[in-house]
Amino acid sequence: MLRDLLILFALVVALRAPFLTQPVQGDDVYYLEGAQYAQTDPAHPHHARYIFQGRMVDMRGHPHPPLNAWVLAGLLALVGEVQEVPFHAAYTLFSLMAALGMYLLARRFTSRPLLATALFCAVPAFVVNGNSFESDIPFLAFWMLGIALFHEALERNRARWLLLAALPLALAGMAAYQSAIAVPILWLLVSRKRPVWWGAYAVALAPVIAICAYQVIEGAGGKAIPLQVTAGYFKEYGLQQISAKVRSAEGLAGHLGWMVFPALPIAAFHSRWMLAALLWVFVEWNPLYLIGIASAIGLLTQETRRFGWWPHLFFASALALFFAGSARYLLPMAAPIVLLTVIELDRRPRLLYAGLVASLLLGLGLATSNYQHWAGYRDFVAAHAAEIRANRVWVNGAEGLRFYGGNLGALPMAQGEAIRPGDMILSSAVGYPVPFTIGGGQLVTVANAAVQPSLPFRLIGLDSHSGYSTVAAGLLPFDLKTSPVDRIRLERVIESKPTLSYVPMGAPEAARHILSGAYQLEDGKYRWMGKQARLILQPGKETNDVSATVYIPDAAKARRVRLDWNGALVTEKTFDKPGLYTVAASGFKTGAAQGILTIECDATFQAPGDTRELGLILQEAGLR
């Protein structure tokens, strides 16, 4: 056993060592916000507030409890600042814990525990996501240890093993809400082994007890409990819509088949049920996806009573709970999937070793491309550090830019931000850039760069249809492309005098005349506005007709529209129903100097899945 553990220790360290300098990526930046806040309020890291997709949000609504933020807070207090190498070295301990839990399980279920655990460590999602500061690997570590120790308690019939299992199960509850799925899995195991061991049923509740305790403590004093805040954001961002759930389910089904290299489950469970994968050609025709579906069908058609129906219960729960369809969501299923495969192929070890090598090569290839993607942001910011420090810079795009730019004083961009002349914008083409206005100025490119990994593997990126991180761009487990994953720009807003007195929203010069309040152009002819939109105009004469053409959709709450020129009321009209209207006043003395036309409505609303504050649709406005 000691020999096996030393080999596994060396394997995990070998997987993590090349990525100790992995840049901050993805959602890392939000967990680090909680860790920073915890330096002044250690008990409540999720009381932090930060900009998310252009809006200020409360971290109590984060879809994970605060364990990961506490871990990062401790590292931050110890090291003094975010440093990639010591942070990643510390997070390697979670990978080792997960491997230990897998080894304990594999000793119970297979004659090849070392090989089974090596296959677990080679799961591509484990190789890739073990290099982030997100909560997935800490959660997996405690989940695996808790379930493994619970199995030991049942096999040994010893209460002290139950007590050992209680702590990691409770910590899993503080790492992820989906830890509650362990309860029915463990109860089924108890009912099969010792149906009247009530202490085991109680210990299985540890994740739920931890989650409930967190809700009660945070809700003390009449505050909304975290799950209420989370539910509010889910509704606000439209994350629980049926269409999002269906799309997520399609992605998760493909990811499931790539938990291990799909040739292994296909060889192990070659049943006629796998032919059903051909039906998914109507969802996505790409062979990478269809192979994953065939592998997933082979896995899900196996009987898993001995594992408490672990893979089936977790996968069904994943379809109900998750909305982005990310591969990392299924990491807690990796153990039973590997065990099923190894048990079935026990007499064909060469195939298992070949699958191990294939999984490792794929995982390392994906991890390398991922590293180079995020390193592109770090390198770009470092190359332009002097300019970023010397100016007011706004970051609009991928989180890596936000972290490294923020270290130099750059600010996260809020939705609809009015960027003034002299300011700079650091942006990327991916990463949910938010709409903004340039305050009557003009954008001039200072520097730009393409982010181009050396390998063709793509987890996210321009022209990629990979659903590895989110199914928003596609359903593939990963994509194969040679085009850049992103394009980064550093731009400056320079002053530009207004040239138009009347501005159709689709005019090429429109953006330079919008000071604030109007969003991006749609259908080439209109823009949604918030409660107030402001245009800077150059009158053609002293006295002008002032007008704005607006459309009030059925969903809009606005009914009154007001026009101001340089703060003075021009006209105001109220409408009794939705429709297309022109609000106008004749012969208003504007003067010949440039000025500001303000279009204001009386109410706003939010559309499902759209985080913008919407008033009405602006088609054109100005002076004639």
DSSP 8-state assignment for residue 605: B
**30 neighbors 52 (Cβ within 8 angstroms):** yes
Angle between helices 349-383 and 334-344 (to 10 degrees): 150
Q: Among candidates 157, 161, 139, which has minimal Cα distance to 94?
A: 139
Kindly state the average pLDDT of the residues 389-395: 94
Give CA–CA dist 157/395, Å, rounded.
57
Provide mean pLDDT across the span 366-393: 95
| DSSP-assigned letters across all residues of 538-576 | --SSSEEEEEEEEEE-TT----EEEEEETTEEEEEEE-S
| Helices vs strands, H then E, count in the chain | 21, 20
Could you give the CA distance from residue 95 to residue 118 in angstroms, rounded to a whole number? 12
Q: Taking the domains of the chain in order of start, what are their residue ranges? A: 240-346, 380-495, 502-623
Long-range contacts for 49-54 (Cβ within 8 Å, ≥24 apart)?
50/412, 51/412, 51/413, 51/414, 53/237, 53/415, 53/432, 53/434, 53/611, 54/413, 54/414, 54/415, 54/416, 54/417, 54/434, 54/435, 54/611
pLDDT of residue 233: 77
Counting Cα atoms < 13 Å in the Cβ hemisphere of 522 gives 10
| Closest-CA residue to 550 (of 500, 602, 599, 586) | 599
Query: Residue 103: which pLDDT band, with cuts at 50, 70 and 90?
Result: very high
- The H-or-E segment that residue 441 falls in is strand 441-451
Q: Check pLDDT > 90 for residue 98.
A: yes
For 547-602, the pLDDT digits (tens) are 999 999 999 999 999 999 999 999 999 999 999 999 999 999 999 999 999 999 99
Which two three-digit tokens encode residue 325? 């369809």
What's the rounded Cα separation, in Å, for the pair 480 and 509?
A: 39
Q: What is the pLDDT of residues 32-44, one digit of tens each?
A: 999 999 999 999 9
Percent of the chain whose pLDDT exceeds 70: 100
Number of other CB atoms surrounding residue 592 within 10 Å: 12
Contacts (Cβ under 8 Å, ≥6 apart) of 54: 413, 414, 415, 416, 417, 434, 435, 611
Average pLDDT, the chain: 93
Higher pLDDT, 444 or 171: 171
Per DSSP, helices labelled H in 157-225 are 159-175, 182-193, 198-204, 206-218
The Cα–Cα gap between 253 and 475 comes to 9
Q: Give the pLDDT of residue 541.
A: 92
Number of Cβ within a 10 Å radius of residue 27: 19
From residue 435, give the alpha-carbon distance in Å to each of 53, 122, 618.
Answer: 10, 40, 16
How far apart (Å, rounded) are the C-alpha atoms in residues 367 and 95? 15
Encode pLDDT of 229-257 as tens digits. 888 877 777 777 788 888 999 999 999 99
Q: pLDDT at residue 125 above 90?
A: yes
If you average pLDDT over residues 475-481, what whole number do you get?
Answer: 95
Domain formed by 502-623, architecture: Sandwich (2.60)
First to last CA, the chain: 86
Asked whether the predicted pLDDT for residue 611 surpasses 80, the reply is: no
| pLDDT band at 443; cut points 50, 70, 90 | confident
Share of the chain above pLDDT 90, in %: 78
How many CA atoms are closer than 13 Å to the CA of 265, on its beta-carbon side?
29
- Between CA 86 and CA 40 the distance in angstroms is 22
What confidence tens digit (pLDDT) does each residue in 68-95 have?
999 999 999 999 999 999 999 999 999 9
> What are residue 479's DSSP bridge partners?
458
DSSP 3-state assignment of 483?
A: coil
Instruction: Average the pLDDT over 461-483 and give the result.
Output: 92
Rg (CA), the chain: 28
Rounded CA-CA distance 617/208 in Å is 47
pLDDT exceeds cutoff 80 at 329: yes
